[in-house]
Structure 1
């Protein structure tokens, strides 16, 4: 079982959730959060609270300022502790609180004593859903995962909009400055007026410069904050997906996630500023209309022409964006597959084949990208041409108006400058169409990832089992993997008592590993039910379940880092005794003696710096360090040499007690000395189940002799 550390803030949150009739374990609450030292800190509190459907707000307040109407609240105390505050009794000067150090007890303490420990930060909590008949009822929401985060920063966008208003008003000043200089200063030689006007316009230009800096700062700040939340949310959804949802290659999945960059690029400063400036087109038209309504006509026509052209190519842009996204996915998938299998590619001289596939994928990607850039470029260039043409038309019309005495030279120049500014955001928006469709395609791809079924549904009524004893029962279980017509398991039923040692044998593809995957809640049975300690496995929080299973998979995958970091991967706070025991049982204590780095030895990506036997020894140590009562081993010694295998078997016999339940998948007779019962599978069905001796004699008489000789 994973060693639990004392986490006051997490325990306080669990306590408040319990008050709202929401049950969750510490493993389930914190699983997947990037916590330093495995402890919940205020920075990640809102994300943890969201898992129990509680909204949280952390504020700085004195004790006498607390809002009694929203109790219970969590107080941050000194020495990295916390407590739940339920009520104040001002007459008796006492507070009713829950201290996580005192188990499940609510106690009264003097307010003065609480004041000494209180650091001034309080977390208010409110239930976002309601509970009826012991079931959580989720509030229906139409909020989109992306736009809901953007909306969280709407207050900041209000400030940006206000700054944009002043920036666009200031933009009116320069044309009027020019108009007054040409129409009043120059004809009258009023140099004093010129200096006054120049001084005024410099103040406005400076203010405009400062406001643009402030606007850009807030746009980037809002984008950065949203980006941090969205990136964390996407990764959390990827890690939380059920294995049944993994219906695409790792490369394609990586490409999907990487496509978020297109969304981030589109929501950058230029896009936001252009969208905000767009409504001010009407403002500039109104000002131009005041000077001379005639100039409004070419501007409106120009805006309509730009928008019509942009709409005429949007279907082509969308198709090309979708095609390029798909081509990029395949290219990315090929790249990751190549990088992960370089040794195999070189060993079988397949470099030419992979190079051919890469160049073919690149040709498609470049072809679509080139067409997309060209069509997108024509939109921007056409908008620029229309903008310049509108300026020329204004000059032509303006000259005739000047000749007729209906317009001054300064007014013409002012209208020309205003027309350029009016059409600028429309031209920019049209030029951003390519980025828009790329971002739209990326958002659609990410929707598939984010909307995938999660293995840990928020607020599901998990049954807490912090101390599983290991009684396992399969009832009429069938399993069919996604996009597979053949069932891996076909209506199997068996029961394993707590403390029983069972081997599961069978041919390749008989369904042995599928039993393990169901037991670890990696896959849900297509039919039937699985029970652990008389509780349906679907009711046990996957994080809590896996923390109580020592697992050795068939394919050993180590994470880039040290031997030690891989051993304690599932139990970061394993005790020294548990760690030393895992080293002895796995034989790593002997292996690492030959290396000067010891436990700090780097294993490389996937463990490629270690031999197969060494990787398997690390996997054995990792399972033992879990300190679990349920052990699930799949060929734990298949890559080991005979001395190391004998060492592991010998020490496993001494390690396992009557409290350990063992499920062993193997083809090696030598490992059968660890079990006293055998289940044999064939084509997803159980064809034999009984004590070791009788099953071996009936099914494998020759191997029974070998196993008997070894034992």
Structure 2
């Protein structure tokens, strides 16, 4: 199968599809004075076929300083005070409504295919294609430095803010719980009347009336319980989707300088969200909502027989005091368990990712020992946590039964003294169990609460880490660049490192210049690439592209200008096509560009010679490909968007001589007019460049024409930097 056949079979002929919803958002943002690029609005969002969806629209709008809200309304009922508004048309199209003239039956709109030009259309014609859904988009007011804070302004919490969005559902849950707890009085009152009135008087007609009434109450109670559970689960599922998306967005947007050092521990922190999610489930919410009704049941018991409420109050106080006494230990054990679990998970992730290396070095014994020691400690700690937690639950259950026994004993003496009826005793017994149940349930939730609180604390720490694209950050729009690069007295130190990776480095690469960076291992060559890509911030100095500091660019737009081949190539699970087109929707690259990138990288031999062609699965981390083939995929990925600048870090380190020579010839072809910065130890690649920079210990030791620097190196005229 040839490359062309593989492409045609995999996706067929494609035509450019406009993202009308995105263009409508840009039009409205421009109306409100916010000129934002498409990259800034959609970077990192889950697009469908490369296009914005109504569900994701509010998240994109927030990046332009706007708020968006979906509304279902007839066209003529839309609020003119909130214009312009985005109209969702049939099928899958959109436009911007600017104004309505109901008398003339005309509307002023902006259709994305016509650019920013306003068009006047017939209102009836627009109504026929209108889907009935519109999106109101309004600018958010932002305080600047001139607006002093009267009180400390706190942003919306990432977790509780989402929970508050479902307050209407929780309001219905509370209303349903009130009625359910009132219905709970039905059964004790039924028993009381049967024993006190029906049985002594043999009033069977009254019995059936009471039975029908209590059966109706039980039916309504069942319906309300089912509805309450459904509402709680619906609210939890809605929150789960938004919170999971928010967490993943935070992870992907983190600055690399703030990234946790351990991947496994970091993954464990994210997984701890499961304990938070389960805690806000139905059992917790229902238990908390039912707790205040303990006072209602205690009051009813007191009305039946005042002495009967004393055991109930004593039992409630005893359970609460024991639960409070156990809180400190539960909190300590929850934190210890979480830390031990995170550490063990870090060992697991590291071992799996380095399994081949472990086997090659015969390091299984060391890792097995670390795993077993961590597992033993975690097992002991978890057992202690379970013991304390179960003791709270068991003491609460014991107290509930003891209270029931005490109520029966007290009731018998009251009956003997004629102060209580038999029906009243049974009703009080049932109500005492109903009063103690929420208290027991709340006590049992304490351990789960501490686990959720520990997880929430770690997640709060994650959500407070700085991200590349802050809400108040604005970027310039530079869709086209010349390719001039500049390091102006740049000093940089990696996080938690004592030694500086770069020290007062000043370099300038003119647009279209080809430069190689040479130096010993760990001298800071790769760091130059990472700073250019905006992955890290220099400790001092500035890195600029076309004279503009790289941090003024939107991170996605900045990296679009670079074709980057890293030293350690990591591929994603999926096909060759998926990995070459990583970072963009498949509709953003036409077949000719994809074929050209495959040819230039040298992947054409693999694609043409394999039955699956470009749909060949590469496996996790590209383990089904050789090191040289992974580098070819990385090169194709760097070239497919035809960037203005190429950053190549040891691009041929895993290739044989013939593959390297073929790649050099192709790079000479593709490099015409492009700025190229090559980091290499191979002298064979120096024929691609006109200039060489030598770095040692983070300091520039030599910078000049290729032949002169090579000659100086050969003669030993270039020394080493002082450490």
Q: Using the alignment, how far apart are the partners of 2:330 and 2:30 within structure 1? A: 52
Determine the structure 1 residue equivalent to 2:601.
586
In the TM superposition, 1:128-207 aligns within 5 A as 128-130=140-142, 140-207=153-220
Conserved? CA contact 1:23–1:461, under 8 Å: no
1:531-558 per-position Cα deviation (integer Å, ceiling 9, x unaligned): 1112111110001111221110111000
How much has 1:356 moved relative to structure 2?
0.7
Determine the structure 1 residue equivalent to 2:677.
663
What is the DSSP-based 3-state SS (H/G/I as helix, E as strand, rest coil) of the residue aligned with 2:622?
coil
In the TM superposition, 1:503-582 aligns within 5 A as 503-572=516-585, 573-582=588-597
Q: 1:690 aligns with which of 674, 688, 704?
A: 704
Conserved? CA contact 1:8–1:81, under 8 Å: yes
- CA 1:113 to 1:205, structure 2 compared with 1: closer, same or farther past 3 Å? closer
- CA 1:700 to 1:114, structure 2 compared with 1: closer, same or farther past 3 Å? farther
How many residues are matched? 699
Conserved? CA contact 2:597–2:640, under 8 Å: yes
1:446-505 per-position Cα deviation (integer Å, ceiling 9, x unaligned): 111111100011241200011122111111111111111111111111111111111111
Q: 1:245 aligns with which of 251, 258, 264?
A: 258
Determine the structure 1 residue equivalent to 2:7.
none
Q: 2:50 aligns with which of 21, 26, 38?
A: 38
Q: 1:614 aligns with which of 629, 635, 639?
A: 629
TM-score, length basis structure 2: 0.94
Q: 1:88 aligns with which of 87, 95, 100?
A: 100
Q: Using the alignment, how far apart are the partners of 1:248 and 1:4 within structure 2? A: 42
Conserved? CA contact 2:61–2:67, under 8 Å: yes
How much has 1:17 moved relative to structure 2?
2.1
Q: 2:112 aligns with which of 68, 80, 100?
A: 100
Q: 1:217 aligns with which of 230, 233, 250?
A: 230
Q: Using the alignment, how far apart are the partners of 1:551 and 1:131 within structure 2? A: 39
Conserved? CA contact 2:260–2:266, under 8 Å: no
Q: 2:660 aligns with which of 624, 645, 649?
A: 645
Q: Using the alignment, how far apart are the partners of 1:200 and 1:79 within structure 2? A: 53
Q: Using the alignment, how far apart are the partners of 2:126 and 2:436 within structure 1? A: 63
Q: Using the alignment, how far apart are the partners of 2:717 and 2:74 within structure 1? A: 75
In the TM superposition, 1:121-520 aligns within 5 A as 121-130=133-142, 140-520=153-533
Determine the structure 1 residue equivalent to 2:714.
700
Q: Using the alignment, how far apart are the partners of 1:380 and 1:112 within structure 2? A: 66
Conserved? CA contact 1:240–1:455, under 8 Å: yes
Q: Using the alignment, how far apart are the partners of 1:79 and 1:306 within structure 2? A: 61
> Please, what is the CA RMSD of the aligned residues?
2.0
Unaligned runs of 5+ in 2: 1-14, 719-723
Determine the structure 1 residue equivalent to 2:4.
none
How much has 1:578 moved relative to structure 2?
1.0
In the alignment, structure 1 residue 69 sits paired with structure 2 residue 81:
yes
What is the DSSP-based 3-state SS (H/G/I as helix, E as strand, rest coil) of the residue aligned with 2:56?
helix
In the TM superposition, 1:7-46 aligns within 5 A as 7-46=19-58
How much has 1:16 moved relative to structure 2?
1.8
Q: Using the alignment, how far apart are the partners of 1:283 and 1:55 within structure 2? A: 44
Unaligned runs of 5+ in 1: 705-711
What is the DSSP-based 3-state SS (H/G/I as helix, E as strand, rest coil) of the residue aligned with 1:322?
helix
Q: 2:59 aligns with which of 44, 47, 51?
A: 47
What is the DSSP-based 3-state SS (H/G/I as helix, E as strand, rest coil) of the residue aligned with 2:579?
helix
Conserved? CA contact 2:76–2:102, under 8 Å: no
Select between 93-102 and 146-155 the one with higher mean Cα deviation.
Answer: 93-102
